[in-house]
Each structure stands twice: as C-alpha cells, then as structure tokens.
C-alpha cells in the first residue's frame, strides 16, 4: 500500500513538472514570436527601491525606450524624478548622465554583453531563448497586472556578476503583447526593487529623435 502511495505521489509530481515545463515553453515561445516583430517600445516607468535596514523606499519615475538594432536591443531611460538623469545602453556599454552636474558614468559589459542586454531589456523585445541561456527559469502561474492577464516567471541569473546584484528576478509578462507589465528584482537581505510599466506603446511609428542621445532629455 505504501509503495502504491509512493508511486502515485511520484506520478503526480512528474505530471506537475511536465505541465510547468509546458507552460514555461509557452511563455518562451511567446517571447520569441514577439521578438521577431519587435522594432521599438516606449513606456512610462516607476521604480521603487526598498532598503530593509532603514525601512525606506525611494521612488524613481520617467520614460524608457527600447529599440532593435540588428541583433541587439538598445535601451534608454530618462529619469524625471527625483534626479534628472539618463541611462543609455548601446553596443555593450552602459552610460549614465546626470543633467545637473554633467557627470558621466560608463560601464563596459564586455564579454557579458548578451547577459546585460537580456537583463536590461527584460520583457521588452528580448528573446525567450536568450532568457533561457542567461537565467534558470521557473513558471509561477498567472496574475492580472494593470488590468491585463500576465504570466509570472522567476529568473535566477547564471552569471556571477548579474546574480551578485539580483539573486532572483520576477517578471509579469503580458499574455498578448509579450511585454513586461511589472518586475521585482530581489537584491538579498530583504532589499528589492519593483518596476511598474504603464502607457506601453509597442512599435510606435517613431521614437523621439534624441531618445538615445545621452545628454538630451
């Protein structure tokens, strides 16, 4: 009798695992498909950074741009609150410009370029196959975010550099557009950052001409 219960339990676990894998494959296939037609995206964002040790949440707001350039995805973020800054990721290099001081920070992704691209462009034109290459993935079901049905994925970075920043990342992917509606990036020790995206415009006719110009708002 105990053996039958054990066999039945194993069968249930295997079946659950198979269904989870099928659901994960469905989401990755969606991302691959949407990536094929992806050209550019414009979206408003709100990032909340929570620090547990001081129990403080800092909020950043602005607009982001994503654009397919050959096999790469360029990313730009214009921060309007609380400090006017701009981040641009192009050709494997991240640059951050602070408008008030004129200071420029540069970070070369180097051989980890694809990992950085996959990380910065999470849910915005990135391929499902790239996610699978750069992260260990788990399908966590569905939820309604911003009034839209979304898939939930958990990502564990494979590269030490990204994993040291964000040991666990959760994405809420719109079931229709394949775009990211919401993200949570755990930083360990109770710290995390959440990101909410609104007014997402997929493949608009044009982005602002200065969208990827580092020193232009």
Q: pLDDT (tens digit, 9 = 90+) per residue, 158-178?
A: 888 778 888 999 999 999 999
Domains and CATH numbers, the chain: 2-202 (2.50.20.10)
CA 32 – CA 27 distance, rounded (Å): 9
Q: In the prediction, which pLDDT does 11 show?
A: 37
**Model confidence pTM above 0.85:** no
- The answer to whether 194 touches 47, Cβ cutoff 8 Å, is yes
* 59 bridge partner residues: 48
**How far, CA to CA in Å, does 10 sit from each of 18, 139, 140, 195?**
12, 20, 20, 38
Buried/exposed 127-138: b ≥16 CB within 10 Å, e otherwise: bbebbbebbebe
pLDDT < 50 regions, the chain: 2-19
């Amino acid at each position: 009798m105990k053996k039958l219960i054990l066999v039945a339990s194993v069968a249930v676990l295997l079946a659950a695992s198979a269904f989870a894998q099928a659901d994960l494959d469905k989401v990755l296939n969606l991302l691959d498909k949407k990536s094929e037609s992806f050209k550019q995206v414009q979206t408003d964002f709100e990032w909340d950074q929570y620090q547990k040790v001081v129990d403080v949440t800092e909020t950043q707001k602005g607009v982001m741009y994503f654009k397919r350039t050959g096999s790469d995805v360029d990313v730009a973020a214009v921060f309007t609150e609380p400090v006017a800054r701009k981040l641009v990721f192009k050709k494997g290099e991240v640059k951050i410009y602070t408008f008030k001081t004129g200071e420029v920070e540069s970070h070369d992704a180097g051989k980890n370029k694809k990992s950085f691209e996959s990380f910065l462009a999470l849910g915005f034109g990135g391929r499902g196959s790239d996610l699978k290459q750069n992260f260990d993935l788990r399908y966590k079901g569905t939820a309604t975010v911003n009034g839209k049905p979304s898939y939930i994925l958990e990502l564990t970075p494979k590269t030490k550099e990204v994993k040291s920043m964000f040991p666990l990342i959760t994405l809420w992917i719109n079931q229709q557009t394949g775009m990211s509606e919401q993200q949570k990036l755990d930083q360990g020790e109770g710290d995390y950052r959440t990101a909410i995206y609104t007014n997402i415009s997929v493949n608009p006719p044009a982005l602002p001409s200065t969208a990827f110009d580092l020193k232009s708002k």
